[in-house]
Structures are given as C-alpha cells and as structure tokens.
Amino acid sequence: MSGLLILGLVFALFFSLGVEPGVASGRQEAKVNQDHDRVLYVTGAAREQVPNSNAQISLGVEVRRESAEDAHREAAERAERVVSVLRSLGVRELSTTGLQLRVEHRTVDGSREIAGYVAVNTVEFVTDVDAAGEAIDQSVSAGATRIQGITLRPDPALLSEAMKRVERAAARDGVARADRVLVELGLERKEISSVRLIDSGYISPQDGRGGMLMRAEAFDTTPVEAGTSSAEARVELRIRY
C-alpha cells in the first residue's frame, strides 16, 4: 500500500507542475530541432569595373630557311634585336617564352621531301597600356613577325583595393536579400551564423576584346585601348531567424 501511495504522489506532482512523464525531454529536443531549422541560406554578389593600366604582350620572330642552321641563326639574331629594343624602352618582366625549330615537308610526284625549316622565338613582356603601341611597332621594325597576343590588366594595388570593396559589397548584398525575404514573410533576422566566400577574383578582357589591337595606315602608332577588368565576389551567408 505504501508503494502505491508514493507512486500516486509522484504522478500527482508531475501533473500539478504541468509536466507529462516521458514527454518533457522529447519536447525539448523538438524545440532544439525547430530552432536549428530556422536558417536561411542566401548568396550575395558584387562587381566593380577597374581600369586596365598594364599590357602583357607576347611577340614572335618566325623565319623560314632551307637549312635548320640558317633558320635558327637568323631567328636568334632577330630575336636579340627585338629584345634589345624592348630593353631600351624599359619594359618589365621581359622573358623568352618559346623556342621552336621544325621541319616543313612538301609532296612532289607522290614523294614526300623536306621543303625547309622554320624557327620561331617568342618573347613576352609587360608595359604600360599607353606605351604598348610603340613597343609593338618598334619590335616589328626590329624583326618581330608575329603578335601572339595581348592581355590587359589593372594595376595590382588598385585591383587589391577593388577586391576588398566588392567582397564587402557582396556581404552587404547578401544581408539585404535575406532581409527582403524575411520581411515579406513577416519574419525577423536574428543573427548571421556563418559567412563563406564562394568566389573572389577578376576577369580581364581577352585578346581582341575589351582592349583591342589594331593596325592601319592612318595611325602613326598601333593604338591599344585599355578597357576595364571586372573585380567580382560572391559570398554565402547562413542567417538564423
């Protein structure tokens, strides 16, 4: 009888406190899960145009001769003249990026025979956009026969500052997007629980796009238009509400 009496008092105590035996821990777990589910993931993005001030240019000397020795020697001599001119112009990051020597064949009366040899020397350098046209023209006069490509890019210091701005702007954009969604649903942002930088970098114009290389009789110097590069960033925010 005493055991039954004690058990009855325990049940009475639980019910008087509004607690159901075996259910309290389950309710607490459900509340935790509910709070965990109240999370909004949103992506913010930003972009800024940065003026290009540097030009990375690749030039080549191509020579065709009957013998490999003649082709190699003349290509080397022309390349040396081109390099000397570029040094006198004060270009930066000047380097030899390619040396090639290949044989060319032709078919005569069904037979394949050697037609000659081709030597190609390639150099690459960086200069200010305003000086790029003159560097190209003087290189051609010195013996360059191929313009391999040109890539335009911003000053590193300006690009670094622009990247900092777009990363901050991307975070603000993500918060603004989240707030618009939550307000529309009648909810309120509590905290930003995590931030992840998805992408950060810049996009420069490709050869012939954005910065264009042109040649015409009307120009004294080959004009190179600088154009701009795009500094871009994307962030992912995890927001509790």
Tokens (6 digits) for 18: 């509004």
Q: Report whether pLDDT(7) > 80.
A: no
pLDDT attached to residue 170: 97
Asked if residues 102 and 69 have their Cβ atoms less than 8 Å apart, the reply is no
Residue 80's closest CA among 104, 99, 101? 99
Q: Name the pTM for this structure.
A: 0.69
pLDDT attached to residue 22: 45
CATH 3.30.110.170 domain extents, the chain: 40-51+157-240
What digits encode the pLDDT tens for the residues 37-76? Answer: 799 999 999 999 999 999 999 999 999 999 999 999 999 9
Q: Does domain 40-51+157-240 have CATH number 3.30.110.170?
A: yes
The span from the CA of 88 to the CA of 146, in Å, is 20
Asked if residues 39 and 193 have their Cβ atoms less than 8 Å apart, the reply is yes
| SS3 state at 205 | coil
> Where residue 211 falls among pLDDT bands split at 50, 70, 90?
very low
The span from the CA of 89 to the CA of 209, in Å, is 26
Tell me the H-state helices in 56-155.
68-88, 129-142
User: Which superfamily does 54-153 belong to?
Assistant: Protein of unknown function (DUF541), domain 2 (3.30.70.2970)
CATH 3.30.70.2970 domain extents, the chain: 54-153
